[in-house]
C-alpha cells in the first residue's frame, strides 16, 4: 500500500487559490510569513466577496477543494455565523475571507505589510 503524500506549502496555497477563484473571490493576496519568527502560521491568504452568500460559497469551496484535492480537513473555522469575516485554518495556511467593507476596515494586508506579499489578478 502506497503512502499518502503529505501536501506541502505550495500544494496548499495553490489549492486554496483555486477554491477561491472557483467562486470568484476578489483581490487575492498571499502573505508569506515563513521568515517571520513571531508568526503563528506559514501564510495568510486574503480575499473578499461581495455578499455574505458569496463569502459562504468561497469558504465552502476552499474547504471542499482542500478535501477533494489534498484530503485535508480544516483545523479550525470561524465566522460562519455572521459571514462578515470567515477564517479557515489549513495546516498553517490561514485563509481570511471577508465581505469588502470588513476587509477595508481591518486592513490585514497593512498590518503584515513587512512580510513578502503577492497580489494575484482577479480571474473570471
Strands 93-99 vs 43-49: parallel, antiparallel or unpaired:
parallel
pLDDT at position 36, please? 85
Q: Compute the C-alpha angle 11/60/38, nearest 5°.
A: 55
Considering the segment(s) 9-112 as one domain, its CATH architecture is 2-Layer Sandwich (3.30)
Q: Which residue ranges make up each domain of the chain?
A: 9-112
**Please, which residues have CB within 8 angstroms of residue 3's CB and are 6 or more apart in sequence?**
none
Contact status, residue 44 vs residue 109, Cβ threshold 8 Å: no
**Cell numbers describing residue 94:** 490561514
CA distance 47 to 61: 13
Which of 53, 68, 69, 60 lies closest to 95 in space, CA to CA?
60
**Cell numbers describing residue 38:** 513571531
Give, for all 124 residues of the chain, the pLDDT tens digit.
455 566 889 999 999 999 999 999 999 999 999 988 888 899 999 999 999 999 999 999 999 999 999 999 998 999 999 999 999 999 899 999 999 999 999 999 888 878 788 888 776 5
CA distance 27 to 79: 20
| Dihedrals phi, psi of 18, to nearest 5 degrees | -60, -40
pTM of the entire predicted model: 0.91
SS3 68: helix
pLDDT at position 112, please? 82
Amino acid at each position: 500500500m502506497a503512502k499518502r503524500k503529505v501536501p506541502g506549502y505550495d500544494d496548499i496555497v495553490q489549492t486554496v487559490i483555486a477554491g477561491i477563484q472557483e467562486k470568484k473571490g476578489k483581490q487575492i493576496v498571499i502573505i508569506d510569513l515563513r521568515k517571520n519568527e513571531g508568526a503563528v502560521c506559514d501564510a495568510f491568504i486574503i480575499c473578499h466577496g461581495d455578499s455574505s452568500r458569496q463569502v459562504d460559497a468561497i469558504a465552502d469551496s476552499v474547504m471542499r477543494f482542500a478535501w477533494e484535492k489534498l484530503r485535508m480537513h480544516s483545523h479550525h473555522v470561524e465566522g460562519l455565523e455572521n459571514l462578515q469575516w470567515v477564517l479557515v485554518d489549513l495546516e498553517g495556511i490561514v485563509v481570511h475571507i471577508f465581505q469588502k467593507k470588513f476587509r477595508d476596515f481591518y486592513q490585514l494586508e497593512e498590518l503584515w505589510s513587512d512580510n513578502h506579499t503577492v497580489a494575484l489578478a482577479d480571474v473570471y
